[in-house]
Structure 1
């Protein structure tokens, strides 16, 4: 028992935290909070509903995955402790590790995983191929997920470990049973941070708090794999569309991390010792010009190919890369520097006069306005639309550039009416196979991806790619698929580029990888 004198002596020490001054408490709270400005702030909180990488980055904090890839693209266990497969590769069993708990306090079960994968497969290009190849995705018991195939699918591990949107994140079964056509609005996962609904301000701020029930893996963190430690009590994702405001806020320490910056502001930050500027993802992004295949004039393949022939990537890259060393011309839908890189079927060097000839031969009505939907608050995308506006005008089109915010843009492009062209950027790792690349999906409406190209040959060869047993077979099929998709004008790549992030130099252990990972970061 502690004596009265000891209790009296200890009392001031025990009371010390409560006696902190207001400014001291505020400083302590600030140190425990990581304030991040993403390129744009998503209002879609469902990881299975959009290919937006701002949704993906948010989701990586809230949700977790069964498997994850390291920097050698090897699938590794994450929520799963291990897996087994039958000798013929037609049945897979994944065994959950102990201690997995959702943010609502319920344990993660095999049924949650099965329901989540079925929902993801209804939305994702690669997931859809796996779903169609499956006889059953179910849970023999609370700690086991079973995938039984009805036809060969050689990419089960790669599908479950894919790092790009849409990521096969796991959510409670009750939420995963939300119809795939409707977004989940209650973001509950089992990841290192939980969504704080009471502090959510759509379009302004997303607040996340440490998930005390999360148990990180013991391995070192590499990309999305390994131990994800919630090193801050809170993470705040803050909307700040104006780049000069971002730079000022980072310089003064009002925010800690800027996801993506235009190159013209980098010299200011590089001269500031309190700031570190670095390219986090060496693979970078692919610029995309996507046609609406359902409406004139781009329901005509001859018109799509004419525009593709006119595209000069050198006109697009300066606006998104800013520095020559950040950009490379790349006409491969599968990305450059990837295992399946090819330019089969793509037009060669840009030729504006030949493109005009192709349009004359197509005999289309150029007086009809071409609507470009244009997310003006996303600089990395908006710059592309301005170049296409000029290009289409040179080709003789009347152009209606309709500006909007990014979240409105996502809603507009999901509807087949009211637009002809949109632009976006996608991380190259998301594009590197014909199954992962949503823009190479050819099922058409209503289930295909926005733009809705329809091509039975592409779909058949994608299925063959999924079933292929050797890498040589997959490589040959990837080239054939690319050629068909390019010749049918699925979309036009606008080059490949990287972008720099910036953060306060007091932050250390900032993760690298193909997404914005915010775990394991330490201050000081």
Structure 2
């Protein structure tokens, strides 16, 4: 009844006489519910989508992956590349009307860097970070670091969004409580109804760059006064709402609807390739039994047959990879076969032998299942079935993503709300190389749920961050992958497209791997 009433309300709003198409809100359905607003605390992709609306970054990648100035006017680099001088572009304001300053940026970088894997690497290489004026600051390095701009323009979670210093300094590593943005939209907290809708308005104080939008770089021009993330958990209902024009955009098209949506002229299905492709993964709690034993993780690794997992999505053949065992996504520059020999043919017999070697005694394995996720739900059910056939005693806890996101941060034993396995999906946007890949960069960082630590990987991550030569970087990435498979940081479930779908009357939609709602216009009828 709540869904029907919600859709009736949307229809009535759209039917108000005299309301022009461009004045109607732009409505997006996210794959998961927004729960946490702080992008430094939560690695959730819905939090990143929220954050990209209300905060901006110093630099951003264009569609070719080249880092361009965003909040910055520009930068200068010393000949030895150990000193970076940054200048903010003029006219930047927070949504409370105060100017953006260099001190704000320094505080934001330090807060983000305390938690993010790449950010920690950058701060460890930084000897000082000081304001040289109200709109300029300098970063001095204590050793070579080849990825300064890549860090400051990072798009994989956690993203270094800029916040006021008073908020960043006060919050530290705890969640922020006040949302004061620097981006193209204003979050209306008083209109936020969790489980129903998140409301944004165009930020009248925001000054877009003059360049055309290109990837995540360029001008973030907003053409709608009001934009909403709306909640419609039922897949058939959200598709019906899209087809009838009651919503405009679905972040992840329900997979079993793709074939029919491709034939519907009212909508556009994105290719879901590149940054929009998805890798499923089993993440383990490495800190408590039984997956603190690598033999148990290797047993799960042997139990998984990726072709069966990706088949569960129901996607057309051109949207799945039958097998992909690279941590960097197949078809990308860093893709490698290193360390994959034992994975190319899965073996239930080998999985069962490893369980016996580990002394597994049929203890329940708590698996947190996000049944409301169009992507996570089907692959979880197949992966769990494969683990059961190998001999794991699975206790499947089926709930919504918001509950999973909360519980997966719990490091307690099972009896106190802990967990053993959480199936997730990561986008290609998050996995292109080891220094941003969540399955690698958080190694021994003790901040990412799963909390794995392989000391062999630590120096290689540092070497990758310092290495300027692309060929040598690829070699280091291959070594890291071999170790990650050997240690079983996570088990890869397979790679497949994760297309979005939106109304065909929208123009200017940027397909960057996650939804961004600037640059979009609605065609007048």
- TM-score, normalised with respect to structure 2: 0.92
Separation of aligned partners in 2, 1:351 and 1:277: 34
Say whether the 8 Å CA contact 1:312–1:349 is kept in structure 2.
Answer: no
Change in Cα spacing, 1:22 to 1:258, as seen in structure 2 (3 Å) is: closer
Alignment of 1:435-474 (within 5 A): 435-441=435-441, 443-444=443-444, 447-474=446-473
Structure 1: segments with no counterpart, 5+ residues: 1-20
Separation of aligned partners in 1, 2:440 and 2:484: 7
Which residue is equivalent to 1:397? 392
Separation of aligned partners in 2, 1:523 and 1:251: 15
Alignment of 1:107-122 (within 5 A): 107-122=99-114
Which residue is equivalent to 2:6? none
Shift in Å, 1:448: 3.6
**Is 1:125 matched with 2:117?**
yes
**Is 1:348 matched with 2:347?**
no
Which residue is equivalent to 1:52? 44
Which residue is equivalent to 2:354? 359
- Deviations along 1:185-207, one digit per CA (max 9) or x if unpaired, are 32221111110122111222110
- Deviations along 1:141-165, one digit per CA (max 9) or x if unpaired, are 1111321111221100111112221
Say whether the 8 Å CA contact 2:117–2:435 is kept in structure 1.
Answer: yes
Alignment of 1:74-473 (within 5 A): 74-279=66-271, 281-283=273-275, 284-320=277-313, 322-328=315-321, 329-346=323-340, 347-417=342-412, 418-441=418-441, 443-444=443-444, 447-473=446-472
Say whether the 8 Å CA contact 2:111–2:173 is kept in structure 1.
Answer: no
Separation of aligned partners in 2, 1:99 and 1:367: 63
Change in Cα spacing, 1:113 to 1:26, as seen in structure 2 (3 Å) is: farther
Which one has a bigger Cα radius of gyration? 1
SS, match of residue 92 in structure 1 = strand
Say whether the 8 Å CA contact 1:371–1:420 is kept in structure 2.
Answer: yes
Which residue is equivalent to 2:5? none
Shift in Å, 1:439: 1.6
Separation of aligned partners in 1, 2:398 and 2:14: 44
Deviates more, 1:103-112 or 1:28-37: 28-37
SS, match of residue 385 in structure 2 = helix
Say whether the 8 Å CA contact 2:22–2:223 is kept in structure 1.
Answer: no
- Deviations along 1:12-69, one digit per CA (max 9) or x if unpaired, are xxxxxxxxx9965673487341011111221111121222111111111111010000
Say whether the 8 Å CA contact 1:321–1:327 is kept in structure 2.
Answer: no
- TM-score, normalised with respect to structure 1: 0.92
- Deviations along 1:487-520, one digit per CA (max 9) or x if unpaired, are 0111111111112222222111111212211111
Separation of aligned partners in 1, 2:422 and 2:111: 26
Say whether the 8 Å CA contact 1:285–1:427 is kept in structure 2.
Answer: yes
- Deviations along 1:86-134, one digit per CA (max 9) or x if unpaired, are 1111111110001111111111111111111111111211111111111
Change in Cα spacing, 1:442 to 1:82, as seen in structure 2 (3 Å) is: closer
Change in Cα spacing, 1:174 to 1:321, as seen in structure 2 (3 Å) is: farther
- Deviations along 1:355-404, one digit per CA (max 9) or x if unpaired, are 23532551422320011011111121122221222112111121101122
Say whether the 8 Å CA contact 2:145–2:465 is kept in structure 1.
Answer: yes
Say whether the 8 Å CA contact 2:270–2:511 is kept in structure 1.
Answer: no
Separation of aligned partners in 1, 2:260 and 2:333: 37
Which residue is equivalent to 1:18? none
Say whether the 8 Å CA contact 1:102–1:189 is kept in structure 2.
Answer: yes
Shift in Å, 1:178: 3.8
Which residue is equivalent to 2:4? none
Shift in Å, 1:472: 2.1
Say whether the 8 Å CA contact 1:262–1:321 is kept in structure 2.
Answer: no
Shift in Å, 1:300: 0.9
Separation of aligned partners in 1, 2:473 and 2:189: 45
SS, match of residue 176 in structure 1 = helix
RMSD: 1.9
Change in Cα spacing, 1:357 to 1:263, as seen in structure 2 (3 Å) is: closer
Change in Cα spacing, 1:22 to 1:302, as seen in structure 2 (3 Å) is: closer
SS, match of residue 500 in structure 2 = strand
Structure 2: segments with no counterpart, 5+ residues: 1-12, 413-417
